C-alpha cells in the first residue's frame, strides 16, 4: 500500500463531528424506517413491544462501542476490537463478515428505493428494475471513489432531506391517530404465525433491530475523522439516540393511521399514509423524497464498505490490494469489489423465483451484525477484566452485560437457516485466509 496516499488521505480528507453525525444517522435512517412498519405489522400490536426491545438493545450496544473508543487505544469497528482481544486470525474472519455484511445489506436499501420510485413512475418490469439498481450501485461507487469529502457532503445534504417527511408525517398524523389500531383485537385479523407470545416478541425484536444496523459505522471511518477519540463515541451514541426517537414516532404514527392487518401488505407505507392524510399528489412527493433518503443511506454504506476494507488492510487482516488508495484517499479496489458483490445479490433478489428471498437476506444480515456486535461486547468485557483497573464504572459493566444478554438472546432464538447462511459467507473467505495465513501468523507473533 502507498504510504504517501495514506498520509494525503489523513491530511486532506478529514471530516468533523457534524459530518460524522450525518453519516451515522444516514446509515440507520435508510430502508429500515420504511420497511419496519410493514414488517412489524405482521406481528400485530406485539410488534411494537418488539420494537422497544430492539431499540433498547441498540442503545446498549452503541454505548459499549462508545466505551471502547474512550477506554482503549483503538478506534474502529468490531474487527479492530476482535483483533485486539482474540488476535489476527479471529480478526480476519470478523473483518470478512463485517465487510460482506455491508455490501449484502446494500441491496435491501436499493430494493426499497426502487419500490418508492414506483410510487411515482408506476410499475416497471424486472429487467428495468435491475438496470436501475445497477445504475444506482455504479453511481454511488464512483462518488465514493471520488473521496470521503464528496461523500460526506452528500450525507450532510441528505440528512436535511430526510428530516422533512420524518417530521411532517408525525405532525399531521397526531390528530388522526385511531387508537383502536393498537388493540389486540386486530391480532385476530392477521394470519396465524404459529408462534407463542414470546416467539412473536423475539421475532419482531430481531426485525426491529434491523433499523439500527450500522450504529457503529462512525467508528469504521475513524481514520478519516478529526479528533476521532472524542468525536466518534459522541457521534455514534447521539446519532443512534436520534434514530431511535425518529423511528419510534414514525412507527407509532403509521400504526395509528393504518390497521396492522392492512399495513402488512403495503410496500411504501410512508407514501400511503401521507396520501391518506392530505391526498393529492403529495404522496408522490414523499415517494421521491423517500427514494432520495434510501440513496443517502446507500451512500453511507458504500463509504463504509471502502473504509472498512482499507482499515482491515492497514491492520494486516486483508490483502494489501483491499487497502490500495487513489489520490483522493479512497480504497477504490475494495469499493469496486463491494459494488460487484452488491450487484450479484441484487440479481439473486430480482431473478430468484423463491418469494421469501428478500426476507431471508434481511434476517441473515441482522444475525451477521448481532454476531459482530457480540464480539465487540466480549472484547470490551475482556479488556476490562484483563486490565483489572479499579476505576472502572460499575454502570458501564452492567450496560455491557445487558448488551451481551440482548445479543445472546437474539442469537439463540434465531432460525437455523440464518446461521447456515452466515457460515456459508465465512466459507467464502477461506481462499483469502489461506493465502495470507502466514502473514497473520507473523503479525500475531509481533
Which residue did the predictor score with more confidence, 143 or 160?
143
| pLDDT for residue 127 is more than 90 | yes
At residue 324, the pLDDT reads 87
At residue 8, the pLDDT reads 42
> What's the domain count of the chain?
1
Q: Determine what percent of the chain is predicted with pLDDT higher than 70.
A: 85
CATH code: domain of residue 156: 1.20.1740.10
Q: Considering the domain boundaries, does residue 386 fall inside one?
A: yes
Cell of 354: 423463491
Which residue did the predictor score with more confidence, 405 or 35?
405
pLDDT tens readout for residues 64-120: 998 888 777 666 678 888 888 888 999 999 999 999 988 888 888 898 888 878 878
Q: Considering the domain boundaries, does residue 119 fall inside one?
A: yes
Beta carbons within 8 Å of 339's beta carbon, 6+ residues apart: 103, 137, 138, 141, 302
Provide the pLDDT confidence category of residue 266 given band limits of 50, 70 and 90.
Answer: confident
Mean pLDDT of 230-243: 88
Q: Considering the domain boundaries, does residue 83 fall inside one?
A: yes
**Separation of alpha carbons 147 and 140, rounded Å:** 11
**Separation of alpha carbons 260 and 243, rounded Å:** 23
| pLDDT for residue 344 is more than 90 | yes
Contact call for residues 126 and 311 (beta carbons, < 8 A):
no
Mean pLDDT of 345-362: 82
Region of residue 426 (phi > 0: left; psi between -120 and 50: alpha; otherwise: beta)? alpha
At residue 298, the pLDDT reads 84
Q: Considering the domain boundaries, does residue 60 fall inside one?
A: yes
Q: Of 102-106, 150-154, 206-210, 353-357, give the lowest mean pLDDT range.
A: 150-154
Residue 65 is part of which domain span?
A: 3-441
**Separation of alpha carbons 169 and 175, rounded Å:** 11
Q: Considering the domain boundaries, does residue 172 fall inside one?
A: yes
Q: Considering the domain boundaries, does residue 70 fall inside one?
A: yes
At residue 6, the pLDDT reads 40
| pLDDT for residue 130 is more than 90 | yes
At residue 439, the pLDDT reads 74
Q: Considering the domain boundaries, does residue 49 fall inside one?
A: yes
Provide the pLDDT confidence category of residue 150 given band limits of 50, 70 and 90.
Answer: low
Beta carbons within 8 Å of 440's beta carbon, 6+ residues apart: 88, 89, 92, 316, 317, 433
At residue 85, the pLDDT reads 86
**Separation of alpha carbons 210 and 34, rounded Å:** 11
Q: Considering the domain boundaries, does residue 446 fall inside one?
A: no
Mean pLDDT of 365-394: 84
At residue 339, the pLDDT reads 92
Which residue did the predictor score with more confidence, 241 or 120?
241
- Block residue for cell numbers 408525517: 169
Provide the pLDDT confidence category of residue 372 given band limits of 50, 70 and 90.
Answer: very high
Which residue did the predictor score with more confidence, 329 or 129?
129
At residue 274, the pLDDT reads 77
Handedness of CA 250, 160, 137, 282 (dihedral sign): positive
Provide the pLDDT confidence category of residue 355 given band limits of 50, 70 and 90.
Answer: low
Contact call for residues 22 and 155 (beta carbons, < 8 A):
yes
Q: Return mean pLDDT, the chain.
A: 82
At residue 187, the pLDDT reads 66
Mean pLDDT of 374-379: 94
**225 - beta bridge partners?**
15
Amino acid at each position: 500500500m502507498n504510504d504517501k496516499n495514506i498520509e494525503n488521505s489523513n491530511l486532506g480528507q478529514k471530516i468533523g463531528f457534524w459530518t460524522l453525525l450525518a453519516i451515522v444517522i444516514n446509515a440507520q435512517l435508510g430502508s429500515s424506517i420504511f420497511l419496519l412498519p410493514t414488517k412489524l405489522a405482521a406481528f400485530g400490536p406485539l410488534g411494537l413491544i418488539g420494537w422497544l426491545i430492539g431499540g433498547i438493545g441498540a442503545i446498549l450496544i452503541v454505548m459499549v462501542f462508545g466505551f471502547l473508543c474512550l477506554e482503549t487505544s483503538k478506534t474502529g469497528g468490531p474487527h479492530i476490537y476482535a483483533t485486539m482481544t482474540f488476535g489476527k486470525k479471529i480478526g480476519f474472519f470478523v473483518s470478512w463478515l463485517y465487510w460482506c455484511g455491508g455490501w449484502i445489506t446494500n441491496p435491501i436499501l436499493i430494493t426499497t428505493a426502487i419500490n418508492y420510485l414506483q410510487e411515482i413512475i408506476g410499475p416497471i418490469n424486472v429487467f428495468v428494475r435491475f438496470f436501475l439498481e445497477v445504475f444506482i450501485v455504479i453511481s454511488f461507487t464512483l462518488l465514493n471513489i471520488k473521496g470521503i469529502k464528496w461523500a460526506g457532503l452528500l450525507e450532510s445534504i441528505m440528512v436535511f432531506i430526510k428530516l422533512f417527511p420524518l417530521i411532517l408525517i408525525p405532525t399531521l398524523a397526531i390528530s388522526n391517530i385511531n387508537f383502536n389500531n393498537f388493540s389486540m383485537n386486530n391480532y385476530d385479523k392477521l394470519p396465524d404465525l404459529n408462534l407463542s407470545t414470546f416467539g412473536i416478541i423475539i421475532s419482531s425484536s430481531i426485525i426491529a433491530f434491523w433499523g439500527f444496523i450500522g450504529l457503529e459505522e462512525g467508528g469504521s471511518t475513524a481514520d478519516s475523522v478529526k479528533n476521532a477519540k472524542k468525536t466518534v463515541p459522541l457521534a455514534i451514541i447521539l446519532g443512534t439516540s436520534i434514530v431511535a426517537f425518529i423511528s419510534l414516532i414514525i412507527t407509532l404514527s403509521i400504526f395509528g393511521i393504518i390497521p396492522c392487518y392492512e399495513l402488512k401488505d403495503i410496500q411504501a407505507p410512508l407514501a400511503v399514509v401521507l396520501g391518506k392524510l392530505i391526498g393529492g399528489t403529495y404522496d408522490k412527493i414523499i415517494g421521491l423524497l423517500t427514494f432520495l433518503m434510501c440513496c443517502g443511506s446507500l451512500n453511507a454504506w458504500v463509504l463504509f464498505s471502502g473504509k472498512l476494507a482499507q482499515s482491515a488492510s492497514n491492520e494486516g487482516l486483508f490483502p494489501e490490494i483491499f487497502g490500495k488508495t487513489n489520490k483522493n484517499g479512497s480504497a477504490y479496489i475494495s469499493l469496486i469489489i463491494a459494488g460487484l458483490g452488491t450487484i450479484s445479490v441484487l440479481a439473486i433478489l430480482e431473478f430468484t423465483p423463491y418469494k421469501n428471498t428478500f426476507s431471508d437476506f434481511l434476517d441473515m444480515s441482522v444475525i451477521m451484525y448481532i454476531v459482530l456486535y457480540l464480539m465487540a461486547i466480549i472484547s470490551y468485557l475482556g479488556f476490562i477484566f484483563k486490565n483489572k483497573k479499579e476505576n472502572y464504572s460499575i454502570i458501564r459493566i452492567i450496560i455491557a452485560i445487558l448488551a451481551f444478554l440482548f445479543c445472546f438472546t437474539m442469537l439463540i432464538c434465531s432460525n437455523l437457516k440464518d446461521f447456515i447462511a452466515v457460515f456459508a459467507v465465512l466459507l467464502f473467505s477461506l481462499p483469502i485466509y489461506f493465502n495470507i495465513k502466514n502473514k497473520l501468523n507473523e503479525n500475531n507473533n509481533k
